[in-house]
């Protein structure tokens, strides 16, 4: 889709004022070393933290800062530190930050300027309070104290608040604030004590690379003081990071915007009060002495087209036409502000990203080039936690925590180079920073970036689309009307006219709840159609690739945990791991027989495989497989054919009859048993059929060359009408797959989960060797301290993930994933049960005890199942539907 960034987004007045001239030098030297293990570019929060973490781990690291440390964004930060966010990984990063802040003084003798003044999250609506109750609940698992309190109680903690203007609050006593310059000074001292080097006034002017081995790698940096040879560079240049990437011809999805806070005149009552986050009003406060810092996120932030290259200790002039809205809201919450003046303001550049998550990790297209940027106005609080993970990433090839949501590999190359898309999506992420994080919220910006061949057909049938990794996919279908995604209207900002067509937004509103969605029954009908009759899913955005070349078989053996040396056309479900046994992806692999040179049947020289991975993380899977092939020096090639093949999946008891009615190829158990693939013809068009199911039913996936997609769809749709086949979207599919107990990568199967912990030992072979096998074998023989489990609730309340799991009055885990099982007629949760003392647990030992799931602070009895009780013997995928009724009755008993 053509997307053009309009000029009126960009503020024309870019003049900044440099405010501080007499900052001390912290540099350890004024010349550059000839080589270093790691060179970090940029001496802000991220650079200083990364130098500290690497130096402590014995790495010879050098930090190069163009000016003086903190001179970019860090020096003027608000410095607030929160503990609770709606993501278990974020919470763990923030906990690491707090721990490190507390240790730093002891270690360096320098106070990092950390004050634990607590934080209040203001709630003005019922739904907001539910969101806070969810934070309060997940906080229990991570040992973070918090309290849901009334507005009057909140006003006792922070006497400047007007309790009449909000309804309740979440109080988090361990929140705090930090001083950026004190923190960075302590970090540099901690680094240099461990051999780290800081060189200020040393801009990096170029990056040296080498491609002679066939894969581009970094080999050094050029600076104003000379060249440093290195195999590893960290781009921590904040709002200037894009300039650094451009030195190696790469783009990153990051845009600088102005972000600001104002500083009030003295308010003696403000002293010692906690931080405030009034999400509904989109404002935050920090208390500094007798003053309040007041900041916020507006709908019309000023986007900076090119941030000045010589910017140091600078600020922009604050535009009160933009910022004024925050003052109005703040006066409403804190009436004293009506009589208090604004002493000064801080308005500086900060980098923002399309999904409001940082950009971290190694660039898949340039070996040794790491990112630590795009911090979305949270780089102080995340700095220490993120730098710790980055240090593991650099040293071990992967972080300890599952960092996919911040990994550069969540963006495909076409997303990274599309500036108009990046600006749109980053704008919306900024404007919605304080919006409630609903389980099924969808962006309005950056839509229709990648659409598959069926897009228009399904939208015309009422598909309400979702986006994942830039692709549009049907979420669910509405009856007798349509709700296409319209072009982005920037929420009416920057002179854009509000889009009058609200059909899509109206549908989204049905999901703005932590209760069951307004679309619950519609999605239920789609799910039940797949269980009882037939449903058609469009899975075209799934990532599809070929693994070929002389070493294809060796590569498959190394990359996949399951046996891949099976008969041609056999479909294998398998994990692909990292060297520590963490799951980097789960895919289906088909061993290919010799083809005729078509898109679905390539001509092979030796073995070849067709691999299908989840679409939302498809690029990550491709990068992981390519990198491991390259590391092993194997002569094998991965060819991504995602945008060349459409996928229609027909599922349910009637699927076989429907498919058989449009092809002469025999769709029988003998010719096409479960777990097998074949090339078939439908009305003269060729396609690959895979007899498999993501939902636990008799079902078939048709992988079709784009040119044949619509003709085959037309046949299928026409045939389906005779069987009352329904269209079904991803919401139904996720519910069905959850009900069946299947895994979902980056949810209940992540890079911090070993397959043995995830109950996937059965797809980890005993013989041969594969990446991560040592750790799998170790856990198989020694046992695990956490184990995936499946829960059902008797009470009809929704589960979304992040609810805590209690066993006999002790917290033993939290749900990674929640959904509603329409066939089982109950809410389902999937999570990992951990031994409270990290001791070994077994599937037997977790069976005893009384389980409860805590939802928004209230505990509900839960039934534990090691595997889903839905069709436990897998009769339905075999097409055996005769005994299903009895099994269901048994479960309900
Ligand atoms: C008004 C405001 C309020 C904020 N409030 C909070 C808050 O309350 N809590 C929070 O956690 N975060 C907050 N933030 C965000 C936080 O301050 C930033 O995320 C963080 O400081 C970014 O750190 P950084 O290291 O990524 O970037 P920077 O601090 O900008 O560091 C990048 C450095 O790279 C250097 N550099 C650039 N080019 C080169 C080159 N070629 N060679 C060498 N060096 C180079 C620059 O000089 C700069 O010093 C706020 C930000 C703003 C603007």
Sheet containing 359-362: which strands, arranged edge to edge? Answer: 197-199, 61-64, 38-41, 233-235, 369-373, 359-362
pLDDT value for 24: 53
**792 with 826: CB under 8 angstroms?**
yes
Helices (H), 418-532: 419-431, 455-460, 503-509, 520-532
Q: For position 884, what pLDDT does the model report?
A: 60
Q: By the 8 A CB rule, do 472 and 478 touch? A: no
Tell how far the Cα of 530 is from the centroid of ligand 1, in angstroms: 50
Average pLDDT, 10 consecutive residues per value, the chain (893 residues): 46 50 62 96 98 98 97 97 97 97 94 96 98 98 98 97 97 97 96 97 98 94 97 98 98 97 96 97 95 97 93 95 95 96 96 98 98 98 98 97 98 96 97 96 97 97 96 97 96 93 97 97 98 98 97 98 95 97 98 90 92 96 97 96 97 98 97 97 97 98 98 98 97 98 97 98 96 98 96 97 96 98 98 89 91 98 96 96 58 37
Cβ-Cβ contacts under 8 Å for 444 (sequence gap 6 or more): 428, 485, 488, 489, 504, 505
Residues 134 and 514: beta-carbon distance below 8 Å: yes
Angstrom distance (rounded) from CA 75 to CA 182: 10
- What's the 44 CA to ligand 1 centre distance in angstroms? 5
The DSSP bridge pattern shows strands 645-651 and 699-705 to be antiparallel
Pocket mutation for ligand 1, best pick of 113, 238, 259 (most atoms within 8 Å of C-beta): 238
**Burial class, 632, CB count within 10 angstroms (exposed 0-12 / middle 13-18 / buried 19+):** middle
- Residues 6 or more apart in contact with residue 832 via CB below 8 angstroms: 753, 757, 786, 787, 788, 789, 813, 816
> Where does residue 808 rank: exposed (0-12), middle (13-18), buried (19+ CB within 10 A)?
exposed
| CA 115 distance to own-chain centroid | 30
Pick the atom of ligand 1 nearest to 205's CA: 41
| Neighbouring C-alpha atoms within 13 Å toward the C-beta of 496 | 19
CA distance 331 to 276: 13
Backbone angles phi, psi at 289, to 5 degrees: 60, -125
Residue 365: count other Cβ atoms within 10 Å of its Cβ. 15
Alpha-carbon span 250 to 354, nearest angstrom: 17
Angle between helical axes of 618-631 and 552-559 (0-180°, round to 10): 110
Per-residue pLDDT at 240: 98
Would you state the structure tokens that stand for residue 489, as one six-digit string?
């209207």
The answer to whether 853 and 798 are in contact (CB under 8 A) is: no
pTM: predicted TM-score of the whole model, two decimal places: 0.95
* Angstrom distance (rounded) from CA 408 to CA 374: 10
| Protein residue with its CA nearest to atom 10 in ligand 1 | 378
- Report the C-alpha gap between 677 and 592 in whole angstroms: 9
Testing ligand 1's pocket by substitution, the residue of 346, 379, 430 carrying the most ligand atoms inside 8 A of its CB is 379
In this structure, the residue with its CA closest to atom 17 of ligand 1 is 77
CA distance 363 to 354: 17
Q: Whose CA is nearest to atom 2 of ligand 1?
A: 77
Tokens 């040992």: give the residue: 143
Tokens of 500: 């009058």
- In the three-class reduction of DSSP (H, G, I as helix; E, B as strand; rest coil), residue 104 is classed as helix
Local structure of residue 450 (DSSP, 8 states): B
Q: Write the DSSP symbol of residue 313.
A: S
Res 263: pLDDT: 97
Site to probe by mutation for ligand 1, drawn from 26, 72, 247, 261 as the one with most ligand atoms within 8 Å of Cβ, is: 72
Ligand 1 shell residues, CB under 6 Å: 41-47, 64-67, 71-74, 77-80, 203-204, 236-240, 259-261, 295, 346, 348, 350, 373, 375, 377-381
Q: Which residue has the tokens 């039934």?
A: 863
CB under 8 Å to 102, separation ≥6 — which residues? Answer: 114
Distance (Å, whole) CA 276 – CA 242: 33
Q: What is the phi/psi pair of residue 675, to 5°?
A: 85, 15
Where do the H-state alpha helices sit in 449-574?
A: 455-460, 503-509, 520-532, 552-559
Contact 315, 347 (CB under 8 A): yes
Predicted pLDDT at 687: 98
Q: What is the pLDDT at residue 23? A: 47
Q: Strands 804-807 and 810-821, how do they pair? A: antiparallel
Whole-number Å distance, alpha carbon 182 to ligand 1 midpoint, is 15
- The answer to whether 55 and 107 are in contact (CB under 8 A) is no
The whole-number pLDDT of residue 20 equals 52
Closest-CA residue, ligand 1 atom 21, reads 74
Q: How far is the CA of 375 from the centre of ligand 1 (A)?
A: 8
Spatial CA neighbour of 865 closest among 851, 854, 881: 851
CB–CB of 132/170 below 8 Å? yes
Atom of ligand 1 nearest to the CA of 71: 49
**pLDDT at residue 892, as a whole number:** 39
What pLDDT does residue 6 have? 47
Taking only Cα atoms into account, the Rg of the chain, rounded to an integer number of angstroms, comes to: 28
Token code pair at residue 868: 């889903």
Q: Which two tokens stand for residue 279?
A: 């999400």
Among residues 745, 698, 712, 738, which one has the least CA distance to residue 880? 698
Give residue 17's pLDDT: 59
For residue 18, the model assigns a pLDDT of 56
Ligand 1 centroid – CA 751 distance (Å):
29
Q: How far apart are CA 863 and CA 847, in angstroms?
A: 10
Report the first-to-last Cα separation within the chain, whole angstroms. 53
Residue nearest atom 6 of ligand 1, based on CA coordinates: 78
**Atom of ligand 1 at shortest range from CA of 286:** 8
- Å from CA of 239 to ligand 1 middle: 7
Pocket test for ligand 1, best of 45, 277, 288, 349 (most atoms within 8 A of CB): 45
């Amino acid at each position: 889709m053509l997307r053009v960034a309009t000029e009126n987004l960009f503020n024309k007045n870019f003049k900044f004022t440099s405010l501080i001239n007499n900052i001390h030098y912290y540099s350890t030297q004024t010349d550059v070393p000839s080589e270093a293990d790691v060179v970090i570019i940029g001496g802000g929060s991220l650079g200083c933290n990364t130098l500290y973490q690497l130096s402590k781990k014995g790495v010879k690291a050098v930090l190069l800062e163009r000016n003086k440390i903190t001179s970019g964004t860090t020096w003027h930060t608000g410095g607030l530190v929160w503990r609770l966010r709606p993501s278990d990984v974020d919470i763990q990063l923030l906990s690491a930050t707090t721990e490190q802040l507390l240790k730093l003084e002891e270690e360096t003798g320098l106070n990092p300027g950390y004050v634990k003044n607590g934080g209040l999250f203001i709630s003005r609506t019922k739904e907001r309070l539910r969101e806070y109750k969810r934070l309060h609940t997940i906080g229990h698992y991570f040992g973070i104290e918090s309290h849901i309190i009334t507005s009057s109680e909140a006003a006792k903690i922070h006497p400047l608040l007007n309790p009449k203007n909000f309804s309740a609050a979440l109080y988090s006593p361990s929140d705090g604030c930090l001083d950026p310059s004190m923190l960075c000074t302590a970090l540099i001292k901690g680094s240099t004590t461990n051999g780290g080097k800081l060189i200020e006034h040393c801009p990096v002017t170029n990056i040296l690379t080498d491609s002679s081995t066939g894969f581009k790698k970094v080999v050094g940096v050029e600076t104003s003081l000379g060249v440093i040879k290195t195999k590893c560079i960290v781009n921590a240049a904040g709002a200037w990071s894009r300039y650094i990437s451009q030195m190696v011809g790469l783009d990153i999805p990051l845009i600088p915007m102005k972000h600001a806070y104002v500083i009030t005149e003295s308010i003696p009552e403000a002293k010692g009060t906690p931080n405030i986050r009034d999400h509904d009003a989109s404002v935050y406060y920090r208390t500094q002495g007798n003053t309040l810092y007041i900041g916020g996120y507006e709908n019309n932030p000023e986007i900076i087209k090119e941030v000045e290259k010589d910017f140091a200790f600078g600020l922009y002039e604050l535009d009160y036409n933009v910022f004024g809205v925050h003052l109005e809201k703040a006066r409403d919450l804190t009436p004293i502000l009506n009589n208090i003046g604004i002493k000064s303001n801080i308005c500086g550049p900060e980098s923002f990203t399309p999904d409001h998550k940082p950009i971290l990790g190694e660039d898949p297209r340039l070996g040794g080039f790491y990112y630590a940027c795009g911090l979305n106005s949270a780089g102080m609080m995340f700095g220490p936690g993120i730098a710790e993970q980055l240090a593991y990433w650099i040293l071990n090839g992967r972080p300890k925590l599952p960092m996919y949501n911040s990994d550069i590999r969540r963006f495909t190359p076409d997303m990274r180079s599309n500036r108009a898309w990046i600006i749109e999506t980053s704008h919306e992420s900024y404007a919605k920073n304080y919006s409630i994080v609903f389980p099924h919220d969808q962006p309005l910006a950056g839509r229709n970036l990648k659409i598959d061949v069926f897009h228009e057909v399904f939208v015309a049938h009422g598909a309400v689309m979702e986006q994942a990794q830039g692709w549009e996919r049907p979420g669910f279908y509405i009856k007798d009307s349509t709700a296409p995604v319209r072009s982005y209207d920037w929420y009416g900002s920057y002179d854009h006219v509000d889009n009058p067509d609200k059909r899509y937004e109206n549908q989204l509103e049905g999901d703005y709840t932590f209760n069951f969605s307004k679309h619950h029954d519609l999605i239920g009908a789609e799910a039940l159609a797949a269980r009882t009759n037939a449903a058609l899913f469009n899975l075209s955005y799934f990532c599809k690739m070929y693994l070929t070349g002389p070493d294809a078989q060796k590569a498959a053996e190394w990359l996949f945990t399951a046996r891949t040396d099976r008969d041609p056309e056999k479909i294998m479900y398998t994990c692909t791991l990292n060297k520590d046994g963490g799951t980097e992806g789960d895919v289906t692999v088909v061993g290919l027989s010799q083809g005729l040179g078509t898109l679905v049947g390539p001509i092979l020289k030796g073995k070849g495989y067709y691999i299908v991975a989840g679409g939302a993380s498809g690029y990550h899977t491709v990068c992981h497989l390519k990198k491991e092939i390259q590391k092993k020096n194997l002569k094998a090639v991965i060819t991504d054919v995602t945008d060349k093949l459409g996928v229609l999946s027909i599922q349910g008891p009637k699927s076989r009859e429907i498919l058989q009615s449009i092809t002469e190829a025999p769709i029988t158990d003998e010719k096409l048993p479960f777990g097998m693939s074949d090339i078939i013809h439908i009305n003269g068009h060729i396609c690959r059929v895979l007899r498999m199911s993501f939902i636990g039913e008799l079902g078939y996936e048709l992988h079709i060359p784009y040119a044949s997609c619509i003709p085959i769809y037309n046949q299928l749709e026409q045939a389906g009408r005779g069987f009352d086949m329904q269209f079904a979207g991803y919401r139904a599919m996720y519910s069905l797959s959850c009900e069946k107990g299947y895994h979902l990568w980056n949810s209940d199967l992540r890079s911090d989960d070993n397959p043995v912990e995830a109950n996937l030992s059965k797809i980890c072979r005993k013989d041969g060797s594969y990446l991560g096998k040592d750790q799998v074998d170790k856990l198989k023989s020694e046992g695990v301290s956490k184990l995936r489990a499946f829960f059902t609730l008797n009470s009809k309340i929704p589960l979304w993930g992040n609810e805590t799991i209690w066993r006999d009055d002790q917290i033993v885990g939290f749900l990674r994933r929640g959904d509603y099982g329409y066939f089982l007629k109950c809410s389902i949760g999937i999570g990992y049960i951990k031994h409270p003392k990290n001791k070994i647990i077994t599937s037997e030992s977790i069976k005893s005890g009384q389980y409860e799931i805590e939802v928004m602070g209230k505990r509900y009895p839960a039934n534990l199942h090691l595997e889903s009780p839905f069709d436990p013997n897998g009769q339905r995928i075999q097409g055996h539907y005769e005994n299903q009724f009895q099994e269901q009755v048994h479960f309900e008993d």
